[in-house]
Amino acid sequence: MTARIYVDLDRVHPVFDGRWHRAHLRRMPDPGEEITTLCGRVEPVAYGALAERASLLLTCWGCDLVYRRQLGIAVPRDHPGLDGGR
Ligand SMILES: [Zn+2]
pLDDT in tens, 2-41: 999 999 999 999 999 999 999 999 999 999 999 999 999 9
Residue 54: alpha-carbon gap to chain centroid: 15
From the CA of 5, how far away is ligand 1's center (Å)? 26
Is the overall model pTM greater than 0.95, yes or no?
Answer: no
From the CA of 86, how far away is ligand 1's center (Å)? 7
Q: Return the SS3 of 9.
A: helix
From the CA of 59, how far away is ligand 1's center (Å)? 8
